Amino acid sequence: MSYDVNGTAVEHDEEGYITNLGDWTEDLAGIIASAEEITMNEEHWEVVNFLRSYYEEYQIAPAVRVLIKAIKKSMGPEIGNNKYMYELFPYGPAKQACKIAGLPKPTGCI
């Protein structure tokens, strides 16, 4: 199971999360997004970039509430709210946005 990034195979698991986090590139993000039927725009990127920087600091994805608070600060309350996050990532900002950002799938009762 792999994504084809300009001729290079990037391995992923049965749910589409990449196996080696170091394989992530912006091109790959675009490819994962289209597999999820999402066309990346500025707002998607803002979320993905925040997730990646949070992950770099804490080695885990943020709570949805933390994500929304950060996006509200950077892009305003029209975008930084739960409803809009689900419009951007219909399968949920936690799981779907993490997949595009190349982060592991959050696990547990969530």
Provide the minimum distance between the beta carbon of 105 and other proteins in the complex, in angstroms, as a whole number.
9
Helices 64-75, 42-58: inter-axial angle, 10-degree rounding: 130
Read off the DSSP letter of residue 37: T
5 forms bridges with which residues in the sheet? 8
Provide the minimum distance between the beta carbon of 68 and other proteins in the complex, in angstroms, as a whole number.
9
Judged by CB under 8 A, which of 3, 17, 45, 86 binds other proteins?
86
Tell me which stretch binds other proteins (CB under 8 A): 25-33, 43-51, 71-79, 101-109: 101-109
Which C-beta is closer to other proteins: that of 4 or that of 13?
13
98 is catalytic: no
- Residue 18 DSSP SS3: strand
Other CB atoms closer than 10 Å to residue 38's CB: what's the count?
Answer: 18
Q: How far is CA 34 from CA 18, 19, 31, 96, in A?
A: 15, 18, 5, 12
Provide the minimum distance between the beta carbon of 14 and other proteins in the complex, in angstroms, as a whole number.
6
Q: Which residues are catalytic?
A: 109
Which residues lie near other proteins (CB under 8 A)? 14-15, 58-60, 62-66, 69, 82, 86, 94-95, 104, 106-110
